[in-house]
Amino acid sequence: MLALQLKHQCRCRSPRILHIALTRRRLRHDDRSRDPQVGLATPLPDGAPKRASPSPYYFAAGYAGWAKRLTRPFPPPFFSPPSGSFSDPLSTHNRSQDRRRPKVNGEIIRGVTVGDDAVLVSDNLIGANDGVGAWAQREKGCAPLWSRLILHFCALAAEKDGHGGEDSDGEGDQLVRYMGDAYKQTKEALSDPNEWLGTTTSSLALLHYLKEKGKTRPVVFVAQLGTNSPDTPEENAVLSKVDVEEDDIVLAMTDGVTDNLWEEEISETAINALHEWHDKMDKDDNISEELLAEGMRYVAQEIVLAARKIAEDPFAGSPFMERAVEEGLAIEGGKLDDISVVAAVCKKRQG
């Protein structure tokens, strides 16, 4: 997770970088598009509240991602299309597809899956969960399901609580409580008789307004949660609180980015992408909420492409290679991994 302070109207000002958290495989060939998976707000079920937070500020956001391999299908009962005829097998697990709106407890699972990762975009909460792909080699392993469900239940907890409301004490610790509830509900949903194993590193940012101080603060949460993990949100979460201003940008990313790009490269890529987006716009265009979100989607997409370029280069320098050398390992190049980015700009609501 990275907070990038940048006024999008100013093209010459050097940005102030706020580092919040996050401290060779053979290429696989398939028929997937080389274009990143992109979007604006992640899908909501019918009837979901459009604007549950009383905060006068919101995130205009977009996401992008690229998976190193096809996502493992979600198993029943989280998704199981009905058989088409008596000649079809009773089990339709082989036709399960995440993109067909999987459900838990009868409700559509929030977020979008990118390989073993998952991303969530709403106007006050963004997240990027990094699923551990090694679980794909285990029976009953499904890391992307863990990634999605934790985001899903966290989003529900935040909506129920009005995204923290206007907390005058300035603590903003609601996100830990939301994630604690989400972790418990995920473990319950993935226990017998529907046991599935997995681990995910959750990185989320909740836009929190301090009414008394007149400040807006993204409360950032990072923790690794899942099967066999001793960590819990209440005991092991890394919680950061950073004051932001209108037009500041917050990036939520998985380690497919941070293993391949240094912080300075991420910032430079984001700045250049933002300038390119401005240059493509008509100067007379009215910058609407949707247009801002499209700009953030473009920023996220360019970061994904920059990270993938290094990930697929066996001779490139990368943070992953640097850490490997420090550990005495002879590794060169980037790290091929799922790459997921959510880019959000803090804006004040109109009216």
The full set of domain ranges for the chain reads: 2-348
3-state helix, strand, coil in the chain (%, to 5): 30, 25, 45
**Rounded mean pLDDT, 189-198:** 90
Over range 131-138, report the average pLDDT. 88
When pLDDT is averaged across residues 235-260 and rounded to a whole number, the result is 90
Least confident among 77-91, 116-130, 228-242, 310-324: 77-91
Q: Bigger pLDDT: 3 or 62?
A: 62
Q: Order of strands, edge to edge, in the sheet holding 215-226?
A: 112-114, 117-121, 125-131, 199-210, 215-226, 238-241
Whether 199 and 228 have beta carbons less than 8 Å apart is answered as yes
287, pLDDT greater than 80 = no
pLDDT level of residue 48 (50, 70, 90 thresholds): low
Residue 167 pLDDT greater than 70, yes or no: no
Length in residues, the chain: 351
Which amino acid, one-letter code, is at 44?
L
Alpha-carbon distance of 146 to 133, in angstroms, equals: 11
pLDDT at 2: 55
Is 60 exceeded by the pLDDT of residue 86?
no
| pLDDT at res. 316 | 93
Q: 338 phi and psi, to 5 degrees? A: -65, 140
The token duo for 103 is: 């459900």
Tally the C-alpha atoms within 13 A of residue 72's C-alpha that lie toward its C-beta.
26
Mean pLDDT within 45-60: 74
- Mean pLDDT over 230-255 rounds to 88
208 and 152 Cβ atoms separated by less than 8 Å: no
| Of 169 and 153, more confident | 153
Q: Which distant-in-sequence residues (6+ apart) come within 8 Å of 87 by Cβ?
A: none
pLDDT value of position 100: 59
CATH 3.60.40.10 assigned to 2-348:
yes
Residue 180 has pLDDT above 50, yes or no: yes
pLDDT of residue 52: 56
User: Residue 319 — very low, low, confident or very high, per pLDDT cuts 50/70/90?
Assistant: very high
> Tens digit of pLDDT for each residue in 199-222?
999 999 988 877 766 666 667 777
Q: Which residue has the tokens 């580092």?
A: 19
Q: Which amino acid is at 315?
A: F
